[in-house]
A and B are shown apart, each in its own frame.
Chain A
């Protein structure tokens, strides 16, 4: 069995130059910004430290509630059911369809005040290996218990959505270890179901330990 090196990423924010003051401008910009901007606005809050559970887990929902005062739409965007969505174009389409559907039945006229505009930000991912290496599933489990939450975010969210390569490598490595069913369970993890990344790590560890208990 080959050794598996764990990777992580750090992210740098860059302005796209696109901004929106109302829902129509938001839709228009959302259709053209690059994928990494959609990724940033949907997922970056999971990486941030929070004192309280997030009221809205993504920037679009937060801005629509806070600046446009449209809480019903914000709530729909806060839980967009992303289970079947594994790439950013599908994610973009899903968010657009939620907003456009809402507009067919609601007359939204809210305009953000000065200083409350939505600024589209793209993220640049810098990916690099960590010092953590596993040569079997037991070691991998220990790594997952201790590795930075940035790595958990990278494997189970960023890598899947942005490039896929390291998540696929992780998946192949687990399957090589005759753990196909385990990978299916991990594939079904849904990041929006967790209060924070540590809770997600706890669930990942629990899934693997349960699998060991049942199969080894």
Chain B
């Protein structure tokens, strides 16, 4: 990725003050910045980096973005790590399951699971070693995103290495966390999205940087009505009934069955339709299985539009689904930050979200949307908003301002520059 983007493209959205500050802060950064994660596409981390890297370059900061490679087994292992680190709902490979099994009852099974666990850790280490040999990590500021490439720290020769954790590791599986902590504790610093996601046992500096959306990306930019209509036509969605939408990966933690149940309750009272639009990330082998489960649950419901992005939806299509909606859902059972909430709010839509992870930071209950704890609660709030469009509009307007002040990419860039300056100068007060 070589293109540059000027921060001044954002002037009409965030004003001059922040942009002047970005230029001044960047002038005080010297050296090369490197970002490493596991994919160029799919998921919030890749989206953020697709926006951030050109902005870093636009500020004349030498910046490189590398991804690690691995086989299906590696990504299956890291997906399992992900689930074990930030909690699990439903069934999947549980590498900690041996603790729940009595040795007397099932010694053989325990041995098999311990052996499987060992293979998983070996797979993780093997692919990190392969990537370490292939990748040149010579940045002055090396941002390693999430657990997948965390073991690359062993290749550190220079610079400040920062482990950027996008997930909630506050209550992890102890075995997986202890394994990962051995790597993470060797970094110069870490970054968490909120204190709620952090760990007390890292022994390194922990900065706080919430994630962000890019208001100028295809996913969030203003669209003419004709463009929205074109997308709806393509997917045979009409606008004669109000639209409820959840955009999310096909992942059990997103509670897609719960969204369908809430929709069915509302549908008894208000004629409406539901869009469930999602994809399956390249590092998420479990996704197709979840898609088939949701497909079965939606069978026979003509007004449920279950859309699997395969090939992936374009960002314009996602944008159009959100803009065509009356209410946006993110009924997650467990969530990282849940940036899709900010995407909905930025489009002036009220969002109903599960009270988990980063969602309560974006959905201010009764101000930008509603936080719900059950299918019934979600159905009640959906119905309220569909019956009262003025209320929905007011919450949506509040949501847009909330995102403007807190969750745009320009603020994210400013935070990274401040973290970099902080690592170069250990003082609490830094004078430029």
- A residues bordering B, Cβ < 8 Å? 8, 10-15, 17, 19, 34, 36, 48-49, 51-52, 115, 119, 121-131, 148, 150, 162-163
Task: Known contacts A14-B208, A15-B198, A51-B364; decide if A124 and B418 are in contact (CB<8 Å).
Answer: yes
Q: Tell me if A127 and B208 are in contact (CB < 8 A).
A: no
Q: Tell me if A12 and B401 are in contact (CB < 8 A).
A: no
Q: Tell me if B398 and A51 are in contact (CB < 8 A).
A: yes
The residue among B414, B419, B428 with the most chain A CB atoms within 10 A of its own CB is: B428
The residue among A10, A122, A131 with the most chain B CB atoms within 10 A of its own CB is: A10
In the complex, which residues of chain B have a beta carbon less than 8 angstroms from the beta carbon of A128?
Answer: 21, 24-25, 431-432
In the complex, which residues of chain A have a beta carbon less than 8 angstroms from the beta carbon of B17?
Answer: 148, 150
B1 on the A face (CB < 8 A): no
In the complex, which residues of chain A have a beta carbon less than 8 angstroms from the beta carbon of B428?
Answer: 34, 36, 122-125
In the complex, which residues of chain B have a beta carbon less than 8 angstroms from the beta carbon of A51?
Answer: 364, 367, 398, 401-402
Partner of B429, one of A8, A127, A130, A131: A127
Task: Tell me, rounded to whole Å, the shortest Cβ–Cβ distance linking B18 to chain A.
Answer: 8
- A12-B415, A127-B429, A127-B431 known, 20 other contacts, Cβ within 8 Å: A8-B21, A10-B21, A10-B25, A12-B418, A12-B419, A15-B208, A34-B428, A36-B428, A49-B401, A49-B402, A51-B364, A51-B398, A115-B196, A119-B198, A122-B428, A126-B418, A126-B421, A126-B432, A130-B20, A162-B429
Q: Tell me if B418 and A10 are in contact (CB < 8 A).
A: yes
Q: Report how far A98 CA is from B419 CA in the complex, Å.
A: 34
Q: Mark B388-432, 1 if CB is under 8 A from A, else 0.
A: 000000000010011001100000001100110110000111111
Partner of A14, one of B207, B367, B430: B207
In the complex, which residues of chain B have a beta carbon less than 8 angstroms from the beta carbon of A52?
Answer: 367
Q: Report how far A17 CA is from B208 CA in the complex, Å.
A: 12
The residue among A12, A123, A129, A150 with the most chain B CB atoms within 10 A of its own CB is: A12
List the B residue with the shortest CB-CB distance to A35: B428
Can you pick out 29 interface pairs between chain A and chain B where the beta carbons lie within 8 Å of each other? A10-B25, A10-B414, A11-B418, A12-B419, A12-B422, A14-B206, A14-B207, A15-B198, A15-B206, A34-B428, A36-B428, A49-B405, A49-B406, A51-B364, A51-B367, A52-B367, A119-B198, A121-B208, A122-B428, A124-B418, A124-B427, A124-B428, A124-B430, A125-B429, A126-B25, A126-B422, A127-B430, A128-B432, A150-B17
The residue among B198, B422, B429 with the most chain A CB atoms within 10 A of its own CB is: B429
In order of increasing CB-CB distance, the 5 nearest A-B pairs are A119-B195, A12-B418, A49-B405, A128-B432, A148-B17
Q: Report how far A22 CA is from B415 CA in the complex, Å.
A: 31
B119 on the A face (CB < 8 A): no
Q: Report how far A162 CA is from B427 CA in the complex, Å.
A: 13
List the B residue with the shortest CB-CB distance to A118: B195
List the B residue with the shortest CB-CB distance to A114: B171
In the complex, which residues of chain A have a beta carbon less than 8 angstroms from the beta carbon of B300?
Answer: none
A-B contact number at CB 8 A:
81
List the B residue with the shortest CB-CB distance to A12: B418
List the A residue with the shortest CB-CB distance to B24: A128
Task: Tell me, rounded to whole Å, the shortest Cβ–Cβ distance linking A35 to chain B.
Answer: 8
Q: Report how far A122 CA is from B427 CA in the complex, Å.
A: 12
Task: Known contacts A51-B367, A163-B429; decide if A17 and B418 are in contact (CB<8 Å).
Answer: no
B5 on the A face (CB < 8 A): no
Q: Report how far A81 CA is from B20 CA in the complex, Å.
A: 36
In the complex, which residues of chain A have a beta carbon less than 8 angstroms from the beta carbon of B364?
Answer: 51
In the complex, which residues of chain A have a beta carbon less than 8 angstroms from the beta carbon of B143?
Answer: none
Within B168-209, the residues touching A (CB, 8 Å) are 170, 192, 195-196, 198, 200, 205-208
Task: Tell me, rounded to whole Å, the shortest Cβ–Cβ distance linking A71 to chain B.
Answer: 19
Task: Tell me, rounded to whole Å, the shortest Cβ–Cβ distance linking A201 to chain B.
Answer: 14
Task: Tell me, rounded to whole Å, the shortest Cβ–Cβ distance linking A169 to chain B.
Answer: 13
Within B195-240, the residues touching A (CB, 8 Å) are 195-196, 198, 200, 205-208
Q: Tell me if B205 and A127 are in contact (CB < 8 A).
A: no
Task: Tell me, rounded to whole Å, the shortest Cβ–Cβ distance linking B324 to chain A.
Answer: 26
The residue among B25, B405, B430 with the most chain A CB atoms within 10 A of its own CB is: B430
Q: Report how far A120 CA is from B200 CA in the complex, Å.
A: 12
Q: Report how far A158 CA is from B63 CA in the complex, Å.
A: 33
Q: Report how far A15 CA is from B418 CA in the complex, Å.
A: 15
Partner of B20, one of A49, A119, A131, A163: A131
Task: Tell me, rounded to whole Å, the shortest Cβ–Cβ distance linking A90 to chain B.
Answer: 18
Q: Tell me if B429 and A14 are in contact (CB < 8 A).
A: no
Task: Known contacts A49-B406, A124-B418; decide if A13 and B208 are in contact (CB<8 Å).
Answer: yes
In the complex, which residues of chain A have a beta carbon less than 8 angstroms from the beta carbon of B192?
Answer: 15
List the A residue with the shortest CB-CB distance to B430: A126
Task: Tell me, rounded to whole Å, the shortest Cβ–Cβ distance linking A18 to chain B.
Answer: 9
In the complex, which residues of chain A have a beta carbon less than 8 angstroms from the beta carbon of B401?
Answer: 49, 51
In the complex, which residues of chain A have a beta carbon less than 8 angstroms from the beta carbon of B418?
Answer: 10-12, 124, 126
List the A residue with the shortest CB-CB distance to B198: A15
Within B1-47, the residues touching A (CB, 8 Å) are 17, 20-21, 24-25
Task: Tell me, rounded to whole Å, the shortest Cβ–Cβ distance linking A55 to chain B.
Answer: 13
List the B residue with the shortest CB-CB distance to A147: B17
Task: Known contacts A150-B17, A163-B429; decide if A13 and B207 are in contact (CB<8 Å).
Answer: yes
Q: Tell me if A14 and B422 are in contact (CB < 8 A).
A: yes
In the complex, which residues of chain B have a beta carbon less than 8 angstroms from the beta carbon of A10?
Answer: 21, 25, 414, 418
Q: Report how far A80 CA is from B427 CA in the complex, Å.
A: 29
